[in-house]
Amino acid sequence: MGNNSTNHPLISLAENSSREAREALVAATAAQFLDSGEECSLMERTLFSDILVKLYSFARQEVRIKLSATLAMADWAPIDLVRELALDSFDIAQPILAFCPILNDDILVEVVRECGFEHRMTIAERSCIGELVSQSLIETEDKNILSNLAANVTARIAAHDFEHAMNVLSETPDTLNSLITRHDLPPSLVAAAFAIAGAEARDLITARVPPRIASRLVSVVGDCTAEAAAKATKSAFHHPMPERVIETVRRNAHNLNVKPTPGFLVAALMRGEREHFVRGIARILELPVAGVSRKLASAETESIALAARAANFDSSIVRTIYETLEVRSIPWTIGDDRTVALVWMRCSPGAARTAFAKGMTN
């Protein structure tokens, strides 16, 4: 552009202040900008960007859509122009919010605070958003937005915002489980998360902590009052449960002493906690502990398969239980696979329980 910049065709349009001239100027600038794109000199790109930002309100819908589509994947896009597009209506903003690599956290936070639901949902799904962006999303306390954020494993979430999100989601179990089973659940919130988690989420949480901590978590959740749980949690982890969590536990105290899950029991068995495993099976099947212990002590494939089927375990777990319980060093064979398959084919969980309990006494 150099010495001929004063003769640039955009200049004559800029000298006309009518709305029509402004719309024409924006359209012409956008067209030239999009045609030259990355090949623009820095001076030209700065000129184009200044015009487009200052006269953005005069840009027609189709011009804005073209700008958004072109700049969505451009690492050379002018940041001020990208901001205008991000704050526009959702149809225009969506490609920028979802993909634009130069969109920074400050602009994303501004969009969350200034724009609506669709903008926020898209940002919640955006890769690698920072803690400030996650915080602004959590502050909306919108459960649908938090659901998207919880599922976004690349989003960074600070510990205090994790706690806030847990409070918001305390009454929506599926989304709560997605949040608290994230890889970055803060250690200070493990106990509180375990207290309000569903069965599968508890299995995932206990699998990530040492056996001593896992046992402590089960003990905390087994307490019959929320106050006792909160006190134990604070003592063990130096972090109290969130108030809304405590209230949820209080309302559902009679349900907290839940039956152990298959995953938790198998994990206990593999840690060498055989008695814990046997008691858990007995509790699930509502059979006497002594009788269950005698049946499992033989480590017979059929008995183990019947117990596992009755407890709604997956058939693939039977071999793991067998090999962990087996003390005679008798290897698993293809015949054992057939036995398990027959039990699953012939018996419902109820029928398997009846067969397993046959001849059992207290």
Residue 269: helix, strand or coil by DSSP? helix
* pLDDT at res. 191: 77
Tokens 């200052």, located at residue:
54
More confident residue, 323 or 62: 62
Question: Of 138, 224, 151, 159, which is closest to residue 181 (Cα–Cα)?
Answer: 151
First-residue to last-residue Cα distance in the chain:
95
Q: Provide the whole-model pTM.
A: 0.57
Ramachandran angles phi, psi of 165, nearest 5°: -65, -40
Tell me the mean pLDDT in the region 43-65.
84
Q: Quote the CA–CA distance of 300 and 200 in Å, as a whole number.
A: 28
pLDDT tens for each residue of 202-250:
777 777 666 766 676 666 555 433 444 444 444 444 445 555 555 554 4
Q: Quote the CA–CA distance of 219 and 216 in Å, as a whole number.
A: 5
